[in-house]
Structure 1
Amino acid sequence: MGFWKTNVPKYKDIIRKYIIDKDENVLYQAQKLSRKLIEHQIAPEEVISLHKSIMMEGNYPAGKIIDSFDVLLEVMMGYGLAYREHQSLRTEQLALRNEIEVAASMQETLLRTSIPSVSGVDIGAISVPARKMNGDYFHFVSDEDYRVGIAIADVIGKGIPAALSMSMIKYAMDSLPEEDYSPGSVLKSLNRVVEQNVDPSMFITMCYGTYDAKTHQFCYATAGHEPGFFYKAKNKEYIDFCGRGLLLGINKNTEYKEYEVRIELGDMIILMSDGVTECRTDDGFIERDDLTSYIDQYIHLPAQEIVNNVYKDLERLQDFELRDDFTLIILKRIN
């Protein structure tokens, strides 16, 4: 309201001066006023309506009304320039969006992994990016000795830089020697890769573990990653992973301690990214007990159905708007 109160008299004065003297300098004042109107998001139809009301109030003859259109045209030219700039930016935005779509599709292809089929083990996994590109990564490795390797990583950050870092982690893992997939060695090797190739302002957390379906032992090491859970079916309790370790890329000489736990019949290994544990509602972050209660609701189901249902519940809890990349993996011993 204050903007109109100040500038309506200015516009009236510009029109009056121009139709009397036809001074070209007055049109320059109209240009400046046009910029102010655009800055204050005054719609062009409002300007036309104002112009019409001013001319009707002044009871000007037809010739003067026609002359006043020069002023209106000068003002509208400013809107035209702004519109063309908007169209140009929109075209650039669409081109960028298309590039991101292509990059997201390529990332999905590059990071694709298949859930291994191992006798006596049921595995479920889900990973959903908060944006087009995923800053989370998970990967499975299996061998003929009934061992399953599970990797889960998270870049502290989002968007294209995070996605590129995840692609680098994937290919670094692919290049590791097959004879040494012990969790501590894997994290130690990847730590050196990250330290040498990732910007110091970015950090990567990771957990890597191997489950031996013959001995039912799960060996793991963590690099600052969100602690997972062990579900112990006998006592119906959730036990946190031990250790956190140093994030990847902080110190190239870091050693990662390995931990081991036996998985009994019905027990589960639960791995996740912080998009799961830091699920936010209007009341704040969900608590650990809230998360385990969601898992408890579906614990009788196959592992893939558990992760799918937990994701749907937490997505609904956030009004279907993920605030961070979401990755959840469950390995359940069924035999």
Structure 2
Amino acid sequence: MKKPSKIEYISWSILGTIGLALFLIYQPEVVPLSKVKVTIGRAEAAQTAVSYLNTHGFDVTELDSLYRAVRFLPSPTQERPYQILNFSDEDYEFLEKHSPAYYWQVSWYDNSGRQLYQAFVSPDGRAFGFDHYVPEDVPGDSLTREEAQQVMDNFLETKLHLDLDKYELLEVSSDKQKSRMDYSLTYYSKYDFPGEIQLQLRTTLRGNQVHRVVTFFSTPERFRNESVMELQNEGIIRTVVVPVIMVVIFIILGVMYILRFHAGEIAIKAPIIVGMIYTVIMALMSLNTFDLWTTYGFGNASPAIRIASYLVVFALMGVFGAVMILASWSVGDSIVREKWGYKLTLFDRISSGRILFPSLLPSIFIGYMGGLVTVGLWAGLSYMVTENFSAWTESRSVAFLLTSYMPVFEVVGEALTDSLFYSFIGTLFLVAFFKKQLSRVIKNDSLNSFVAVLLMAALVSVSQSLIPLYPVSWRFGITLLSSFILGWIFVKYDLVAVLVAGFILSILPYAHELFLTEYFFTSGILSYVFALVPLGFGLFAYFKGTELTAEEIATKPSYVKLITQRERMAQELDIARNVQMSLLPKQNPIVDGYDIAGVCLPALEVGGDYYDFFHLRDGKIGIAIGDVSGKGVPAAIYMTLTKGILQTCASDSNSPKEVLNKLNKHIYNNIERNSFVSMFYAVLDMKKRTLRFSRAGHNPAIVIHRSKESNTLLEPRGMAVGLEAGEKFNETLEENEIQVERGDVLTFYTDGFTEASTKDGEEFGEDRLFDVVSENKDSTANAIIQKVVRAAKSFVGNHPQHDDMTMVVIKVT
């Protein structure tokens, strides 16, 4: 990474400080859980639940034989009204006593599904409700409606010590079971809440026993409709949009990975190790929050099957994430190295085990400041929209921390996996991918980078969120901005800075929530300590490490050599192509009585095709077409040599055989023995309308006669230039002459046309070439060439060609 300037250090320090201040001030305001006093943990909640059930007449001795799950949950209906409506302190106090917005749910259940006990405990340790499922085939009493109400009223007054004068019975419904009658009775509190809010007490009598007493925070229909609509929108995004995006990215990654893997241009070892680490962390995180998932989903399956099923699901999620990281790292790495290899220098050294060097600290510093800026924007903008635009947030993404067995591990694990996933897939791969694709249409590098980062941020914004903010459009907008900042850090600095920024962006909100929660204060402190680990490591590396040497900076992973080799070959290809094009005639000769045109279409691999025209004495013109053996730069060099020698030789003689003999002697003495030049050289006497020609191992020329039905192949004997010193060359070389007439078409070409092939290996061939020229003999010379080119390209389709296509057409007019 380029060392930041003093101004950059100062600017980032100021921005980071502002971001930290915004975060500390507004984060507690936008996460409702921050205001809740949590004084007990999982173990205490379970103990309170057992005591509560025992107090209300349940046999708690059988609980030891059942599965137990302890979860910290938000009330699904209370968080939004808490933020939107103007509740007084008295309102909050009443609700927290009778219906807490957050609570511990302790559940016991068996494999058969016939046993389910639940107790609800407030964050400060007060039990306020329970539920016990009794199978429909268990016998019991069948009370009348009046008897059921009397039993329930008595229970509420004597056991729960409720003043029923402050409640009113809202609804009574009965449910006939096989051997008993069950009743559900709903009461509502007469407490006057703002905004049509109603606190309900929902109870169930199974037989003559009270088995359910829970509170329910009832909101107006408009609240429910808006909330349901937003949750539906979020559901569509999470279940349709995000999976589609992931699948598309996965397919693109897969194809590019396979192609680059076969080319040997990707890292393998390091991505596999990181992918395995990611999978292990995900698996441990799922075990750490085990209670959050074990009683949900998979129909009526037993808890044991549900547990096993969720383990499989989380394992597959971990593996999928690991594969995405592996592929995105490998592919993104190889793309970035084509233009931005320096952005991976520090990461290369860390991957190779060289971890202590002072130049690591600037990247870590930029990462911290970038993380603080983004987390500050999150908190500040979320607060702004919740205060001014009727937006609201939910705490379910934070509540799962309290459910976990080890909150600190959950915080650190979440930060690590988020940082790895979004840094490699979002920043490394997507930014590099978009930048490369956009380079075809956006030539300005700064604009190209801006658009590439913006596209990446748009994709990431639908799948990543620090805080569940509603309406979701606000969330997407804020995530778009924060993701853009992270992407631009990569464009401006390097991958290490992005990884650190992503880590800080993810760990700080969770660490701060634990820090503000009384019972989990210590876990919050430990989480903050882990948040400082990268900075501590950077400082240690700065003071104790040794700086990277020039050799270490220049050292690249072994697979990068292949990328470098490919880049070198591409540069050679460009050089060779430029040389080839510069040697060709800039314009076609314009002479009375003849229409002359030539073309050379370079292939994927630059060959040595060449054609030229020479104005000779006595009203003659020389026409040369040749093919230098080899590809790339060597072929371009030999072509340059051939052109220069041929120009000199042609000016001294009007005999094609003599010219080729002189050319052969010079070429033989100046090129490698395994190299040669095939050539067809002709001299056109424009006054006498004769063509004298010789062929040195080249394709025959074609004469399409206007006055004859048959065509003529000009194929005198001759061996290629440069294969022999001169004696045999001269003996085998023939020189012939023909008379041409008005309307005749002379066609000279290289084997790039006749050997152009389909994917099945079928060649275009001389017969097709003859037919196309013959069918278009009344056209101009240039039109004939274009017809042949179109016919050849149509024949081969999309199959790539590896030889140049060169042609000269002379039409006698």
TM-score where L is the length of structure 1? 0.75
Q: Which residue of 2 aligns with 1:54?
A: 283
Equivalent pair of 1:113/1:139 in contact (CA under 8 Å)? no
Q: CA deviation at 1:202?
A: 1.7
Equivalent pair of 1:116/1:140 in contact (CA under 8 Å)? yes
- Structure 1 unaligned segments of length 5 or more: list them: 1-36
- Equivalent residue runs for 1:32-181 within 5 Å: 38-39=267-268, 46-47=275-276, 49-56=278-285, 59=288, 61=406, 94=567, 97-98=570-571, 100-131=573-604, 133-143=606-616, 145-176=618-649, 178-181=651-654
Farther-moved stretch of structure 1 (105-114 vs 38-47): 38-47
Is the counterpart of residue 295 in structure 1 residue 773 in structure 2? Answer: yes
For residues 148 and 100 of structure 1, do their structure 2 counterparts lie closer, same or farther at Cα, with a shift above 3 Å needed? same
CA distance in 1, matches of 2:589, 2:267: 59
Equivalent pair of 1:129/1:135 in contact (CA under 8 Å)? no
Farther-moved stretch of structure 1 (114-123 vs 216-225): 114-123
Equivalent pair of 2:614/2:647 in contact (CA under 8 Å)? no
Q: CA deviation at 1:103?
A: 4.7
CA distance in 2, matches of 1:43, 1:147: 70
Q: Which residue of 1 aligns with 2:751?
A: 274
AA of the residue aligned to 1:230: V
Q: CA deviation at 1:107?
A: 3.7
User: 1:56-101: CA deviations, max 9, x gaps?
Assistant: 366485677869x8xxx9xx9xx99999766786577556645643
AA of the residue aligned to 1:170: K
Farther-moved stretch of structure 1 (319-328 vs 220-229): 319-328
User: 1:130-172: CA deviations, max 9, x gaps?
Assistant: 1364410000012353211100110232222111111110011
Equivalent pair of 2:622/2:650 in contact (CA under 8 Å)? no
CA distance in 1, matches of 2:740, 2:697: 23
Farther-moved stretch of structure 1 (264-273 vs 317-326): 317-326
Q: Higher relative contact order at CA 8 Å, sep ≥6: structure 1 or structure 2?
A: 1
CA distance in 1, matches of 2:272, 2:787: 47
Is the counterpart of residue 327 in structure 1 residue 806 in structure 2? Answer: yes
AA of the residue aligned to 2:743: G
Q: CA deviation at 1:222?
A: 0.7
Q: CA deviation at 1:288?
A: 2.4
Equivalent pair of 1:116/1:141 in contact (CA under 8 Å)? no
User: 1:167-221: CA deviations, max 9, x gaps?
Assistant: 1100111222623131001110111122111111222101100111111111000
Equivalent pair of 1:110/1:167 in contact (CA under 8 Å)? yes
Q: CA deviation at 1:327?
A: 0.5
Is the counterpart of residue 200 in structure 1 residue 673 in structure 2? Answer: yes
User: 1:213-250: CA deviations, max 9, x gaps?
Assistant: 11111100011001121112112322111323111111
Query: 1:317 pairs with 757, 779, 795, which one?
Result: 795
For residues 144 and 249 of structure 1, do their structure 2 counterparts lie closer, same or farther at Cα, with a shift above 3 Å needed? closer
CA distance in 2, matches of 1:162, 1:285: 24
| Secondary structure of residue in 1 paired with 2:581 | helix
Q: CA deviation at 1:332?
A: 1.1
CA distance in 1, matches of 2:601, 2:625: 13
For residues 111 and 296 of structure 1, do their structure 2 counterparts lie closer, same or farther at Cα, with a shift above 3 Å needed? closer
**Identity percentage of aligned residues:** 27
For residues 43 and 237 of structure 1, do their structure 2 counterparts lie closer, same or farther at Cα, with a shift above 3 Å needed? farther
User: 1:4-24: CA deviations, max 9, x gaps?
Assistant: xxxxxxxxxxxxxxxxxxxxx
- Structure 2 unaligned segments of length 5 or more: list them: 1-265, 289-404, 425-494, 497-551
Q: State the aligned residue count.
A: 292
| Secondary structure of residue in 2 paired with 1:311 | helix
Query: 2:707 pairs with 234, 242, 246, which one?
Result: 234
Equivalent pair of 1:124/1:305 in contact (CA under 8 Å)? no
AA of the residue aligned to 1:54: A
AA of the residue aligned to 1:195: Y
| Secondary structure of residue in 2 paired with 1:239 | strand
Equivalent pair of 2:579/2:636 in contact (CA under 8 Å)? no
CA distance in 2, matches of 1:103, 1:261: 36
CA distance in 1, matches of 2:775, 2:711: 14
Farther-moved stretch of structure 1 (127-136 vs 255-264): 127-136
Query: 2:737 pairs with 237, 244, 260, which one?
Result: 260
CA distance in 1, matches of 2:645, 2:741: 33
CA distance in 2, matches of 1:110, 1:87: 35
| Stretches (4+) displaced over 4 A | 40-46, 57-67, 79-96
AA of the residue aligned to 1:286: F
Q: CA deviation at 1:53?
A: 3.3
AA of the residue aligned to 1:332: K
Q: Which residue of 2 aligns with 1:246?
A: 719
Q: What is the root-mean-square deviation in Å for CA atoms of aligned residues?
A: 3.5
For residues 105 and 183 of structure 1, do their structure 2 counterparts lie closer, same or farther at Cα, with a shift above 3 Å needed? same
Equivalent pair of 1:195/1:250 in contact (CA under 8 Å)? yes
| Secondary structure of residue in 2 paired with 1:197 | coil
Farther-moved stretch of structure 1 (96-105 vs 225-234): 96-105
Determine which structure has the larger helix proportion and give its number. 2
User: 1:277-327: CA deviations, max 9, x gaps?
Assistant: 112123511232211122233222100111122112212222253331100
Q: Which residue of 2 aligns with 1:6?
A: none
For residues 226 and 103 of structure 1, do their structure 2 counterparts lie closer, same or farther at Cα, with a shift above 3 Å needed? closer
Equivalent pair of 2:625/2:749 in contact (CA under 8 Å)? yes
CA distance in 1, matches of 2:267, 2:560: 15
